[in-house]
């Protein structure tokens, strides 16, 4: 069987709790690796270079594009965001399932380059619950909350693009749903060409 890991793209509305789901997944299982994106946006208070993102200038970002250093990149709200290629390829070869926490445009591009990747969209059970969670954080102004909800409405249009929609109602259940979906996706025939061909050759002696 193919030992190579799976490329797991996780997207979801702001406030869906996808960051918590990813952290818990990494904590529970050691077969996952999280890709750190490069961005041209400035760090927010508390964010660290090399932990949350690799924070770079627009010039450096554009140089990396020219060097073909990204698996995908997108411009989002006036800033560049991209997935560095080298880390992802190395970790996949080492058998890790590599998680990309990226927005929909990037997810769509990944699916084009890696048809065998797994696209998961994490959502709260309802719009009402999403609003409650955003308000419950207590850190955002009403204006910011309204902006995020409007964006959620726009992003809901892209939910059909994903392979699976997973509801984050109870955290542990959601983490287990993501994990078992990943385990199943590892066995897609699309990823197991070598194994299938080998089996066919072996079975030829019985024809």
| Binding interface with ligand 5GP (CB under 6 A) | 37, 41, 72, 74, 76, 81-83, 101-103, 105-106
The strand order across the sheet containing 118-123 reads 32-34, 97-101, 7-12, 118-123, 164-167
What is the nearest approach in angstroms of ligand 5GP to the Cβ of residue 181? 19
Q: Which is nearer to ligand 5GP, 32 or 81 (CB)?
A: 81
- Tally Cβ neighbours within 10 Å of residue 183: 13
101 neighbors 19 (Cβ within 8 angstroms): yes
Q: Are strands 118-123 and 54-55 parallel, antiparallel or unpaired?
A: unpaired
Nearest residue to ligand 5GP by CB is 106
Tell me the closest approach of the beta carbon of residue 81 to ligand 5GP, in angstroms: 4
Closest CB to ligand 5GP among 30 and 154? Answer: 154
State in angstroms the smallest separation of the CB of 206 from ligand 5GP: 48
C-beta closer to ligand 5GP: residue 108 or 188:
108
Instruction: Give the residue from 8, 3, 147 showing the smallest Cα distance to 83.
Output: 8
Secondary structure (DSSP) of 145-196: HHHHHHHHHHHHTTGGGSSEEEE-SSHHHHHHHHHHHHHHHTT-GGG-HHHH
CB of 101 to ligand 5GP, least distance (A): 5
Q: Which is nearer to ligand 5GP, 109 or 182 (CB)?
A: 109
* Least distance in angstroms from the C-beta of 168 to ligand 5GP: 15
């Amino acid at each position: 069987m193919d030992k190579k890991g799976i490329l797991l793209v996780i997207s979801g509305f702001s406030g869906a709790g996808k960051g918590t789901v990813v952290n818990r997944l990494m904590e529970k299982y050691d077969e996952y690796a999280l890709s750190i994106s490069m961005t041209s946006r400035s760090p927010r208070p508390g964010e660290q270079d090399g932990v949350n993102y690799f924070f770079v200038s627009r010039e450096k970002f554009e140089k990396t594009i020219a060097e073909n250093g990204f698996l995908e990149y997108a411009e989002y709200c006036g800033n560049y965001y991209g997935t560095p290629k080298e880390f992802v390829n190395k970790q996949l070869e080492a058998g890790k399932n590599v998680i990309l926490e990226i927005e929909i445009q990037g997810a769509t591009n990944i699916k084009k380059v890696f048809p065998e990747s797994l696209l998961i969209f994490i959502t709260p059970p309802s719009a009402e619950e999403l609003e409650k969670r955003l308000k419950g954080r207590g850190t955002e102004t009403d204006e910011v909350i309204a902006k995020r909800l409007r964006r959620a409405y726009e992003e809901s249009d892209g939910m059909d693009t994903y392979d699976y929609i997973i509801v984050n109602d109870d955290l542990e259940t959601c983490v287990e749903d993501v994990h078992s979906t990943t385990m199943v996706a590892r066995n897609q025939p699309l990823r197991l060409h070598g194994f299938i061909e080998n089996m066919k050759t072996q079975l030829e002696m019985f024809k």
